[in-house]
Each structure stands twice: as C-alpha cells, then as structure tokens.
Structure 1
C-alpha cells in the first residue's frame, strides 16, 4: 500500500504530460508555394519549377522528394510536433483516387498538402511554368469535399496553413514586363486574392487558419537575378514591398474573428524573425547567412542547386539558405519551433500548439 500514492502521482504526471503532447487537432491542410511544397510539382507534366533531383533532400530523406530544401520544411516539423505523419502531396493522392475511380474514399486522416512551388497569390505569377495557382489549390480541396473524400468533422477540426506571396513580389522585379500595375496596385491585388482565399476556405468549413507573411525577399541569394540588385547588402526596394504587403496581411488576419464567426486567424512573424536570425548568426549556430549552401555564381544565387556546375557547401546546417531562394532544413526547424511554441513576437494571437488544442465553436 505504501507504493500506491507514488504510483498514483506518477500516473497523474504521466497523463498530464501526455495531454500536453497529444494535440487535439490531428489534421493539417496546406496551401502555398515552395516553402511548403512536399513534391506536388514533380507530378505535374511540363511543370518547369522542380526540385526532384540531387542534392535536394540529401540531409534527411537521403533522396529528392520534390521539397525545395535539403530536408524537412516547416510543415514537416509541425506535423512531427503534432505527432502525425507528414502530409502527402495532393497530386500523389489524386492519382491514387483516379485509379480507384469511385467516390467516398476518404483521404489520409492527417490532412493533405496542396502547395505548389513557384505559385503565387496572383493567378498569372509563373503561369508559364505550369505551376498550380493557389486558386486552383483551393478548387482541388473543394473537389475532395464535393466527391465525399473528406469528412465534415475533419474539415472543421483541422489546421489550415497558408504561405504565399513571395513569388509574386520576386516576379514584380525579376519580370517587370509582365504587369502594368504600380507597386501599391500590385500589393492590393495580392491582398484581395488573400481575402478571397480566406472567405472561400471559411465557407468550406475551415476554422483554424494560420497565414504567414512574406520574409525579406530582398535578402535571398537569388536577388542577384534581379537587374541592378545589390550583392553586398539586401535590396531595400524589394524588402519595402514585402513589408507593405505584410502590413495589409496582418490587418486582414486580425479581422478574421470579427468577420468570420467561430474562426481564428493566426499570423507568424516571418519577416522580423528572419532578420533577427540573420542579425545574430552565431547565436543561432550559423556561419553564413548571405550565401546559399548550394548553387553557383555570386552568393551561389545565380544557379539553382543541382544545375550543371553547381557548388555544394560542406555543412548545410551552418547556412541559413540552402539554395538561391529557400532556407536550409535547420533554418526551417528554428522557424517551426517559433511557430509551434513561440510567444507574441514569433506568432500571434496564439501559437500553433495552442491552436491545435483550443476548442472553437462549431468545431
């Protein structure tokens, strides 16, 4: 009998810890671009934006998966924190559903990833590369609902992660001939598409919506592709446009609970935290926050990783950037930790861990 109180205490602590680890939400639906793409583009015929070749994926999967980094993305780490498997690419699941060719087959209980590298908020962004626009990604999600591949309970009790807009802003400077809009008009068009996306996905049943602002695109190694962009410092012009969009996005996210009853909008502070890490590289274990680990030319930003004559660094973990556009797996891990359990300076009004556990009306 003397050991019984100790056993009860142990069980109490064990259950308390288990409750903290076991997320209430076990499903994630993902939309966006190459930051989140798990390999959708490799299934798209004639798509010109690819990472299905070495050395992509070399640090974790030990084979190319279509992810635009050397290992896992933020979405993958979030899935691990939630205790669920990585979300499969929509295109992979879609092919499987087509082979079975009948309605009512449910998709994986852990959710699905629709993100397509190269896509933007504007339908015309990189359309010549045959990427899947975020509007079409939403239609793909809607199609799964229409054909009874998704249960209503899963739709309501899932987290929706959205990261898009970087390619729009990069294209504005890299391919200026593709638009006649002023910077302000262009950003307002982006914000309108974001607003449309939130409105439609809410009507489809989404309630936990996490949207990530744009990071400082003027600092990526790939800025060297932009005419007259500086090499020895970030491009202030490009970064100012990113910040202008982010101000409008934060206003939109703040309005979600008021505009959409029962929903909550979460905003990850991407821009400021990228700059925080880049300003204090040694503190976060980086030896290089300017050049890409893999690529070629100035800053290793002129060539895509894996292209002929590319160069590869010895230790990707010491580099903030993996290739000309994308962070390394280690950088993604740091950001995932901030988004999952960070404070108000990292993500607001609540972090993703809280979002996964919180009980919302109608969910």
Structure 2
C-alpha cells in the first residue's frame, strides 16, 4: 500500500470496459490500487505478504488475494486481463488493465499514469488497431468515483471522454464509506466507523447521482448507471459487527490483517536490515480489511456479492 494525498481524501477510482457479444468479452480496467493487478512494478504489491491467499505469492495486487478486478472478470467468464505493464502481443484477448496503484484523477505523489494518461493508452491502442472501434462501441464502462466537487467535475470530464469513444453504457460506482477505513477507525481501536467522514461519502454520492442524471438527460438515453459501492461496503461491515456482538470470537471487520508498525503505512515494507515493519494476523482468509484501506479477498468477495444483482440488471439490458 502506498500512501498518497488523494487517498487521505478517500480518492480511489476504477473503471471497467467490456465488449458484449458472443464469446468475445474484453475487459479494460482504469483506476488505482483497488483494481491494479500488477502495473506498479516497484511497489509493495510485489512483496510478501501480498498475494498470500491468491495466487500464493506476491503478484502485483494490493491485498492477500483476489480483488475487484478478478471478481468482475469472473462475472464475465473471462480470465483477469493482463496488466498493461506486462502486455505482449499474445495476451491481449481478454482486454487490458491500465490501473496503477497510488494514482487518481489528478496528479498524486506517485509517479504513475493518472486517469487521463490511462485513457490515452487505450486511445493509442485503438489508433494502432490493437483493439477495433467496435470493441469499444459495444462496451460498458464501470467507474468508481470519489470525493469533492473538483474531483467529481474532473471525473465527469473523463466519463464524457470515454463516452465520446462510442461507449453506449457507462456504470459509475458510488464512493465507499471512507470513515470505515482502518486508517480512520484505528483512533477508536477499530470499534466504530466515523460517521462525519461517511457523510462526506454520502454527500459526494448525492452530487454524483445528480450529475449522472443530468448526463443521461443530455444524452437522451440512460448511458450512465450508478452502482452502490457505499452500501455494499457498509452493509457487510454492519452484518459482521452484529455477528460479532453475538459471538465475540469472530473477527472485527474494521481491524486490518496486515498492520503497519507505528509511523508506517505499507503492508510488506521492510527496514534496511530486512526486518518486517508490519504485523500479520493468523488467518488472512477471515478479515474484511487487509491493510489500512484495502479489503481482503474475503472482503472483496462479500462486496461483489452485494453488487452483483444490480450489475447483472445493468449489463443485462439491451443497449
């Protein structure tokens, strides 16, 4: 996990594009560490204990196992798209993942491709006929958007840009409850989410939904659709908290598995002598959160189960 200024503001965004049709689904991913499956080559995502659950070794995911990208690919019955940094001419059949951990809509402290540059990369591949125009015109874009008005405005500009490529259906995910990040709840010994910060998420989501409605009015058809990441996160956390009230031996959903030592923020970081600068829970398969902001494979699985019905409804419609 790499700390950056946008992350403090709860900024994480991701996008997926898939081509509909008979056995020809392609998935294109844009975003940051929530969906990056291997583009940030020199990060802790390639260091233990990341990947301990899946694939069993560090492979570029910020977590112990499968993340949202993997579950979405499975939903479309394809293999997880290859990271853009590892692409070659023989592994493009499922699409590509342009996401890069630590980046965002605007420039961050991470020297990596932000959203604009990621979209540039896809456009370049289209110009080079690596992917045809029809691949994009018959696709769906899914976006996980975040935070304040300036970010929303910039994000909407990116959505319009993707729409201009010919995409006919765009799924925009709402902001998760940022007040439930372990980075925040540590102040209460992982006892409660901070509702004042969750209100930031709720207010942001109201603004986002209003803009989505306006974009659809201007388009004259429902090109843009909202996916509720906020409640999929929060309902899982509340369910787990309720279960824990009945059985105190169960895992606290707000407590991370991989806990950085004081003054640190990365899971997998070592000091100059090779000593671990983090502690790890006994069973990484059980917690909801992996580190201070990223869910575990178990967390992502439960989140996606909440998202799947609405996602099925959206992509199942004719367009």
Q: Taking structure 1 as the reference length, what is the TM-score of the superposition?
A: 0.71
CA contact (8 A) 1:206 1:263 kept: no
| Root-mean-square deviation (Å) | 2.7
Partner secondary structure for residue 200 of structure 2: helix
Question: Relative to structure 1, is the Cα distance of residues 260 and 132 closer, same or farther in structure 2, using a 3 angstrom cutoff?
Answer: same
CA contact (8 A) 2:185 2:194 kept: no
Whole-angstrom CA distance in 2 between matches of 1:268 and 1:111:
22
Find the counterpart in structure 2 of residue 120 from structure 1: 104
Alignment of 1:154-173 (within 5 A): 154-165=135-146
Question: Relative to structure 1, is the Cα distance of residues 284 and 80 closer, same or farther in structure 2, using a 3 angstrom cutoff?
Answer: farther
Q: 1:318 aligns with which of 264, 279, 286?
A: 286
Residue 58 of structure 2 corresponds to residue 58 of structure 1: no
Query: When you count helix as a share of all residues, which structure comes out higher?
Result: 1
Residue 117 of structure 2 corresponds to residue 136 of structure 1: yes
Partner secondary structure for residue 36 of structure 1: coil
Whole-angstrom CA distance in 2 between matches of 1:201 and 1:352:
19
Residue 223 of structure 2 corresponds to residue 264 of structure 1: yes
Please list every run of 5 or more consecutive structure 1 residues that lacks an aligned counterpart in the other structure: 1-21, 98-105, 170-186, 343-350
Q: 1:83 aligns with which of 72, 77, 80?
A: 77
CA contact (8 A) 1:207 1:262 kept: no
User: By how many angstroms is 1:243 displaced?
Assistant: 2.0
CA contact (8 A) 2:171 2:227 kept: yes
Q: Tell me the alpha carbon deviations over residues 99-153 of structure 1, each in whole angstroms, 9 at most, x when there is no partner.
A: xxxxxxx9723222111111222x23x2x32122111111111111122211122
Partner secondary structure for residue 323 of structure 1: coil
Whole-angstrom CA distance in 1 between matches of 2:221 and 2:122:
21
Whole-angstrom CA distance in 2 between matches of 1:28 and 1:259:
27
CA contact (8 A) 2:236 2:302 kept: no
Residue 77 of structure 2 corresponds to residue 109 of structure 1: no
Residue 188 of structure 2 corresponds to residue 189 of structure 1: no
Find the counterpart in structure 2 of residue 102 from structure 1: none
Question: Relative to structure 1, is the Cα distance of residues 355 and 109 closer, same or farther in structure 2, using a 3 angstrom cutoff?
Answer: farther
Q: 2:165 aligns with which of 194, 204, 207?
A: 204
User: By how many angstroms is 1:263 displaced?
Assistant: 5.5
Residue-pair matches, total = 287
CA contact (8 A) 1:202 1:260 kept: no
Whole-angstrom CA distance in 1 between matches of 2:265 and 2:102:
16
Q: Taking structure 2 as the reference length, what is the TM-score of the superposition?
A: 0.80
Whole-angstrom CA distance in 2 between matches of 1:205 and 1:107:
24
